[in-house]
Structure 1
């Protein structure tokens, strides 16, 4: 389940990033950062399932930081 979610999020992120690079329209930057944070959360949950807690916690902290940055970006626009 988590692997499928990771692949779907990766595909959406790549498409959005390519769109932003081609059109030079960066108004969805905060959404892209939020999606990148969500993929870090999914990867962190996968690491917890593999009993690698150090990497899991690191990825959860990265998710929380990207969540903070994206919310701040949404509020500034």
Structure 2
């Protein structure tokens, strides 16, 4: 289940990134950051399940950072 969520979040994030690169429209950049952050959260949960806590915490911190950036992006519109 986590693997499927990771793939879905990464594909959606990459689609937003490609759209922004092609059209030079940065309107959807906060959504891209949100989905890539959710992908990091899922990867962190996978690492916690594999008993690799250091990588799990690293992915969780990256998730929090990207969540903060995406919320700032939503508020500055």
TM (norm. structure 2) is: 0.95
CA distance in 2, matches of 1:68, 1:6: 20
Alignment partner, residue 17 of structure 1: 17
Residue matched to 1:2: 2
Following the alignment from structure 1 to structure 2, what is the Cα–Cα distance between the partners of residues 14 and 67? 17
In the TM superposition, 1:56-75 aligns within 5 A as 56-75=56-75
State the partner residue of 1:54.
54
Unaligned residue ranges in structure 2 (runs of 5+): none
Match of 2:35 in 1: 35
| Equivalent residues of 2:13, 2:31 under 8 A apart | no
After TM superposition, the runs of 4+ consecutive aligned structure 1 residues lying more than 6 A away are none
- C-alpha separation between the residues in 1 aligned to 2:16 and 2:75? 21
Give TM-score, length-normalised by structure 1. Answer: 0.95
Alpha-carbon distance in 2 for matches of 1:68, 1:9: 17
